A and B are shown apart, each in its own frame.
Chain A
Amino acid sequence: MNIFKLSWKNILAKPLNSIMSVLLFALSIGLITFLTLFNHQFKKGLENNLAGIDLVIGAKGSPLQLILNSMYHIDAPTGNIAIGEAAPFLNPKHPLLSGSIPLSLGDSYGAFRIVGTTPSIFKFYGATQVEGDIYKKDFDVVTGSDVADKLHLHIGDEFYSTHGLEDNPDLAHDHGHPFVVKGILQPTGTVLDQLILTTPQTVWKVHEHDSTATDQEGSGHEGHHHDDAMHNHTSMPIIAIDSSEAQVLTDSIIAALRAQPDKEITSVLVKFKTRTNIQSLNLLRNINANTGLMAASPAMEINRLYSMMGSGTEALQYIAILIAIVAAISIFISLYSSLKERRYEMALLRVGGAGPGKLFQMIIAEGLWISILGLIIGLLAGHLGMELAGSILEEGYKYRFTGMLWIPQEWWIIGGALFVGLLAAVLPAIQGSRTDLHRTLAEG
């Protein structure tokens, strides 16, 4: 039975006195932990999805909306652009660009977006492994790993898309040509995990079919047949994506797009050869000033988003710190008032041979125990809360949020919490260590 065990027993002996302080402390720590985990994953998610993209070119409107729509797939498109207008940026021989990807949006399945694009998108986002194969024809699709998980899609499955980007069964294109799952991407940690990818032409054909109601013959028919293995949902082998094959497919899709300048796409994702080149830097301004298109820089828009989001989370952080201060005051009050009741106990400890330093340590330890309890509960609650909120956030932000991770900033939370507990206990500890032996005992 040493002084630290005693301090623990003292906390346990009066649970009601400590419980308020512990709960306040836990609330504050939980809130701070949640915000820290959220901010970390929010930023990391945005940054993972930058994917080295330097410009997004689309219809005029809000540049932030264009970025959110085309790179994060969380907002409506600003409109469509004619391929003819965008053609220079789809030219593989453009002197400033090292790559560009057309995007056609408009349909979804099970609340996941169907994106018509070229297979070069895999390389853009660093997707290298696919179960099955990449898409090679219209109406073939490759789904992201989360899409396949959530919708229980397997290679060979067929489905009909829904018009628009919400999961609304009234808008289902439930006739015409179905989509066929040809491949399922391995997790990339990017927005690709949440997308269904196909050719740009497929997106047009779905809508042409709707308006003309003609039978879509040809291109995809041999894709319909399912062999038994597919029905039993056995997994297909995971293969590395053949980048030269993807390039050949990309080139032919681009050529087909450029041959139809009146058709529309939603936007183009662009990478520069060199970012520091003056002409590259001027490209954004030139497009916005001299064409009917709008160019937006993901880095700039995301920074703007940070500063907007930042003020919100900052306000919450101040509230959490305020609660921490209240918790500290509550620890202080509970220690201070228990000190009065325990004056005689302090004197007994002194009689037994404990110096003032020991009493000081004991009361500091009591403050620390409360903050450690609050810390543990708060950290658990913060992580659990993040895990529970993760699925809701994932729908909104289109990338993964989890409570099952530990980030370095949490060491600061721990350090800060222990410091606050220490601070709250210092005055009572000084007071307790000064207990006047003779007078306390003489008064009985």
Chain B
Amino acid sequence: MITTSKLTYAYPGQSPIQFPDVQCGENEHALILGPSGTGKTTLLHLLGGLISPASGEITIGGTSVDKLRGHALDVFRGKRIGIIFQKPHFIRSLTALENLLLTQSLAGNEADKKQAHLLLERLSIGQKANHKTHSMSIGEQQRLAIARALINRPAIILADEPSSALDDQNCQQMIELLLQVANEEKSNLIVVTHDSRIKSMIEKKVFLT
């Protein structure tokens, strides 16, 4: 469950950007579309609690995220939000499995090796658990990024241009996989994209201009 109303964000020395309202009910997913420079990533970061809005409200699973600051916001982000970035980045010094365990422990959860292994299996990269992330293929890295976004069972999964680096086939698979796991975990999936290939796969759309 996610609701925003009258969100604005101001970069220092610039006039505030206004964002259209986003609303997703249970099991509802959304695309955020718009040309470059309209603030798609900014909106995603607002939803993810990476930055705080100048005005307006964000409610995720009953919590007023716009009111949270500092430590409370860090904790909320860790526990309730999973983010998949355009390029998959990981902690280079850790293995795939260790990256997941770290994500658990940063959110204040018990590091659960069994759960992490199961998740990797589910995403068909179980055999890569003890590999360093930079030795994995781009497709495997994307799957690991999904695993990391899911490991703490978040309320919403945010994906920033997840398909831009993938070919058609991988793009399709990636979005299908995301939708599948989001449905299984009962999370809302919100995807920022300008990729026309995935427009048909998610019904709800928010246009930025």
Binding site for B on A (CB under 8 A): 1-2, 6, 9-10, 12-14, 342, 344-345, 348-355, 358, 437-438, 441-442, 444
- Among B51, B77, B105, B106, the most chain A Cβ lie within 10 Å of the Cβ of B106
A348 contact from B86, B91, B104, B111, Cβ within 8 A? B91
Known contacts A6-B94, A438-B51, A441-B45; decide if A353 and B101 are in contact (CB<8 Å): no
* Contact indicator B103/A352 (Cβ below 8 Å): yes
- Chain B 68-107 interface 0/1 with A at a Cβ cutoff of 8 Å (1 = within): 0011001101110001011101111110001001111111
User: B98: which of A9, A350, A442 is its contact (CB, 8 Å)?
Assistant: A9
* Interface presence of B108 (CB below 8 A): yes
Contact B51 A437, beta carbon cutoff 8 Å? yes
Whether the Cβ atoms of B93 and A353 lie closer than 8 Å is no
* Chain B residues in the interface with A (C-beta under 8 A): 41-42, 45, 48, 50-51, 70-71, 74-75, 77-79, 83, 85-87, 89-94, 98, 101-108, 111
Chain B residues contacting A1 (CB-CB under 8 Å) are 94, 98, 101-102, 104-105, 111
Sampled A-B contacts (21; CB under 8 Å)? A1-B104, A2-B105, A6-B93, A6-B102, A13-B92, A342-B92, A345-B89, A348-B90, A348-B91, A349-B91, A350-B50, A351-B50, A351-B83, A352-B77, A353-B78, A353-B106, A353-B108, A437-B45, A437-B51, A438-B50, A441-B41
A9 touches B93 (CB 8 A): yes
A355 touching B70, Cβ below 8 Å: yes
Residues of B within 8 A of A6 (CB): 91, 93-94, 102
Q: How far is the CA of A138 from the CA of B143 in the complex (A)?
A: 94
CB distance from B95 to the nearest CB of A (A): 9
A residues near B105, Cβ cutoff 8 Å: 1-2
A2 to chain B: which residues have CB within 8 Å? Answer: 105
Considering only CB atoms, which chain B residue lies closest to A355 in the complex?
Answer: B74
Closest to B78 in A: A353
Decide: B98 and A444 in contact? CB cutoff 8 A. Answer: no
Asked if B79 contacts A353 (CB within 8 A), the reply is: yes
Min Cβ gap A10→B in Å is: 5
Q: Please report the C-alpha to C-alpha distance between residue A352 and residue B105 in the assembled complex, in whole angstroms.
A: 9
Cα distance A444–B41 in the bound complex, in angstroms: 11
Contact A444 B91 (CB under 8 A): no
Are B93 and A10 in contact, with the CB atoms below 8 A? yes
A339 to chain B, nearest CB (A): 13
- A349 proximity list for chain B (CB < 8 A): 91, 106
Given contacts A6-B93, A438-B45, A444 and B106 within 8 Å (CB-CB): no
Given A6-B102, A355-B71, A12 contacting B93 (CB threshold 8 A)? yes
Whether B92 contacts A345 by the Cβ 8 Å rule is: yes
Give the chain B neighbours of A355 by CB distance below 8 A: 70-71, 74
Top 8 closest A-B pairs, CB basis? A353-B78, A13-B93, A352-B106, A1-B101, A1-B102, A9-B93, A355-B74, A353-B106
A354 to B73, CA, bound (A): 10
Which residues of the partner chain B approach A438 to less than 8 Å between Cβ atoms?
Answer: 42, 45, 50-51
Contacts of B87 in A (CB 8 A): 444
Minimum CB–CB distance from A5 to chain B (whole Å) comes to: 8
CB-defined contacts of B51 to chain A, threshold 8 Å: 437-438
Structural contact, A345 and B91, CB atoms closer than 8 A:
yes
